[in-house]
Structure 1
């Protein structure tokens, strides 16, 4: 068998929906891949609220949500498979949805029961890609860099702009990767306050004024002084960012304007001018943010096809599943801080 057909499934922290890709890989040349079908299923209001508030739930409620959400993903997958008349599937790889991520306490929780997905879709399922890494002393994140290393090695830097921005790059024969700063998780939160899902193209941010005091205080946050490996979660934003922003600025356009400058500055500290940078993720469609990143960094920014901008993470989760099934390394200690490189994930059979 020299080829693999898989479905990758991803739900990001910004809750804009569930990304699904049906992808083909050549087993002896991973760079020879093709996204055959891709779709984003938006969340209903009810699911959005459930997932947003899950962080405050007790253990029993979370266990029930894990099963209910797994069934929900199973149904979505079945619809995807029948809509595109997909006949050949070697496995499904699901990232699930992150509810808790506190690596310093050894806690990470992605819901979406693999057993339920396998039962409903009648397919082999690979999921729970983070837990093993935490048990090995790692951050359990980021997971995408092995994909950057093996599928996108022609770029100096791979940056993703989603709920958070993260980066991965090759340095001294090692893959380095970490979360840079929050992006849509903050921008969307404040856009919601004025009745918008998000600030389309960064139009509202472009009309605001930079609050210099807030800008300075954001850039002084301790996380930015830490060396990698390091990763961010919603809890960190709720504790460290929202109170700071709310204390220093109430005008939403000015909050957005200041935060866009903050993102651009933090990213420019990581990527350098003349470097070839692949940028993907929903934040790419915020043209104002992209202009600011270009201005602050002077790097050669490469935007791939819309398909790759939208679905690179889901594609890489399919790839992580492929590596797990072949028992190959899919989690790098240089990235997560774990005690060793390892093949992470749990396989469920129908």
Structure 2
């Protein structure tokens, strides 16, 4: 499988992830999709980050600086951009501005103005932690085992659950909980690039059907198929922490793998690929785009609402399209923290005009 095809499906996978993030933030307006996408949308990005996380030859300090430029600069740029626009739109005194700035610097997930971009600084922390272990150990599967133990630690020994309510600086506690996804992505990447189990083969069709069934069940019923089976066969085990940990790992991996199958199917769409390359900017622009579209509609005397799940899906696609245009414009006109390190799309000039 050549690099071009490989990168295309990875970009398509990232598009599916950012689509899930956007529609998930519509809350109950997205119907059953709302709780469903929260099961995998951010984990999908952590998983994908493991595909290319083998760099251990660059000196650690340079590696850290490079990742800070790539992740922390966009995080702070979009966070303070959002703060500025919100302050202009809603007002606020100087003290509230300072408090919001401190929240951004501390970067914990549930604080104001960190919102949908919290996973960027969390990803930075995770990558640095992972790279330290990559330098110490040569065996990727050993690192995966250590990362799973790290996840178990966060779910059993911490006084809080960082999957829901992180408390540490830059979501380091969340990074320890989600690290296994990055390690899993690295271990599985070579196999994912093959068509033996994840392509147009008999085994691939069987695996796709099984993944699709499990995914559809979780979407429609609100819980994993594993939980339902365990409840019927041996209900007592579902109360244990070990089951909760294993269920989280298996069910999340199932949803991500199903998305990978879909990514390979839709990876011929130019819009999807371009947006997939631009997901960092699209993520940072979410709040701003969702603020500007209704404001523009109001200027035109149009009422705005999301009356159905179909409306939420269509509006999500509109938001992604506009955020993608703005993202490429920022990359071209400003660069730096907004830079997209890929060639411009063929229809780039049409997009920004």
TM-score range (shorter-chain normalised) is under 0.3
* Bigger Rg over Cα: 2
TM-score (norm. length: structure 1): 0.22
User: Which one has more relative contact order, counting CA pairs under 8 Å at least 6 apart?
Assistant: 2
TM-score (norm 2): 0.22
Q: Is the helix fraction higher in 1 or 2?
A: 2
Larger strand proportion, structure 1 or 2? 1
